[in-house]
Amino acid sequence: MSSPTEDRQFKRVILKLSGEALREPGSHDNISPEIVERVAKEIKKAIKSDVEIGVVCGGGNFWRGASASARGMDRATADYVGMLATVMNALALQSALEAEDVTCTVQSAIEMKNVAEPFIRRKANRQLSVGTVVIFAAGTGSPFFSTDTTAALRASEMNADAIMKATMVDGVYCSDPKKNPDAKRYDSVTFADCLSQDLKVMDSTAFTLCQDNDIPIIVFDINGEGNITKALAGDDIGTMIHKG
């Protein structure tokens, strides 16, 4: 399948960053200032293409609610701790963006007025429309939902044209490329094909939100030089999941 590159000139996007992507591989540090700085520099370059950017950060470099729950912690409590982990990543990214003279703000789904604005949909929409990078923190504000679902929800609320999902692989494959060296990478694939082949691009709640609201997902490798800028600017990169 060929990638519909003509559909990649997006006006407004949500960039989904996993917490693990902000940690240096093999390091004992939870977060790498160098990686966060690189992400901020790439976002700054993308802004020059006039794209409006919202960001959702995961918190897996600090905490995973599901793992803590499996070890005996109350699941809702564990998820709330995970939401706080996403705030730490969001604040680190905000600091790096401000160092690059990028106008940005953190909006948190859990009120913490001393460090972040509360999430207000209409205000976030206005901020995006004037070029402010809005970093959405603390997940959805409710337990039992992933930050992938947060990205899908915020993309729907902000009328975003696409979600850019930065991962540790360069796209979506027909099977796990780590286990199958002959696995085929798709340039583009439909939501229906992802479901029929059980490709697990996102969790089911996030994926259904994107499918129902016709929000394409671009899956790309965060580690490639300039890949964030390329994805945000609409370059043909990674795999596009679309309605077809």
Residue ranges for the known binding site are 16-19, 59-60, 64, 79, 140-147, 167, 173, 176
Annotated binding site for ATP: 16-19, 60, 64, 167, 173, 176
Please tell me the number of Cα atoms within 13 Å of 56 on its side-chain side. Answer: 27
Q: What angle do CA 90, 93, 96 make, to 5 degrees?
A: 155
Copy the structure tokens of residue 163. Answer: 């979600």
Copy the structure tokens of residue 102. Answer: 């990028």
| Tokens 């509360």 found at | 118
Dihedral through CA 192, CA 195, CA 198, CA 200, nearest 10? 100
Q: Which helix (H) or strand (E) holds 168?
A: none
How far is 75 from 85, CA to CA, in rounded Å? 15
Give the max Cα distance, the chain.
Answer: 51
Annotated binding site for UMP: 59, 79, 140-147
Cα dist from 76 to 42, 82, 109, 164, 204, whole Å: 35, 10, 15, 28, 19
